[in-house]
Amino acid sequence: MTRYKNQLKTILKLILTGLALYLVFRKIDTAQLFEILKTIQWIWLVPAVILFVLSKVATAVRLNQYFKNISLQLSEWKNWKLYLIGMFYNLFLPGGIGGDGYKVYLLNKHFKLPVKKLLQAALLDRLGGLVAIVFLLFGLFLIVEVELDFLESELWNGLMVAGLILTVPGFWLVQKLFFKDFL
């Protein structure tokens, strides 16, 4: 009976995925898409895809470290599969956090860990990504030339340097105050 139930779930997932892809591609002008594909500069696309995948691997490893902080021992391979499932669900569930919710649901179901701790791990993972983006933003504001006078001032540059210096310690302080189990 369980085998048939699992097969039915898989079929249902495939149907829903196919339906979602159908709805997306119905809205896309495929002729225009193929014209755009002809103009792709592969010399830039290939390294971009490689760096994107590497960033996802690094993020999955970081998330697994957070899981280990709450005594959830997942192999890197299982964590990677779980991470990919979460990415998949983020494409279709509203808000971009549906995949995190699904991961929390699965992990709570299988490992009986408190939902609060699992949510904290997922939130901290997202927050870590935001901190990395903010750090890069401060750094890029220092090196990119912009034709706006206030962006060229000493005060602006000082604020950007201060942001660079304080971003990581600020993140550590947030962890210390709100996420003690994850230090």
Residue 117 is assigned to a structural domain of this protein: yes
- Tell me the average pLDDT of the chain: 89
Cβ–Cβ under 8 Å, residues 70 and 181 = yes
Residue 106 in any domain: the answer is: yes
Let me know if residue 2 belongs to a domain: no
pLDDT score recorded for residue 29: 87
Residue 97 contacts by C-beta under 8 Å, 6 or more apart in sequence? 90, 126
Other beta carbons within 10 angstroms of residue 44's beta carbon come to: 9
Residue 58 lies in a domain: yes
Number of domains present in the structure of the chain: 1
The pLDDT-based confidence of 174 (bands split at 50, 70, 90) is very high
CB 86, CB 113: distance < 8 Å:
no
Residue 133 lies in a domain: yes
In terms of C-beta density within 10 A (0-12 exposed, 13-18 middle, 19 or more buried), how is residue 9 classed?
A: exposed
Q: Is residue 5 part of a domain?
A: no
Among 66-80, 122-136, 138-152, the range scoring the smallest mean pLDDT is: 138-152
- For residue 148, being part of any structural domain is answered with yes
CA neighbor of 59 nearest in space, from 132, 167, 160: 132
Q: Which domain holds residue 151?
A: 41-182
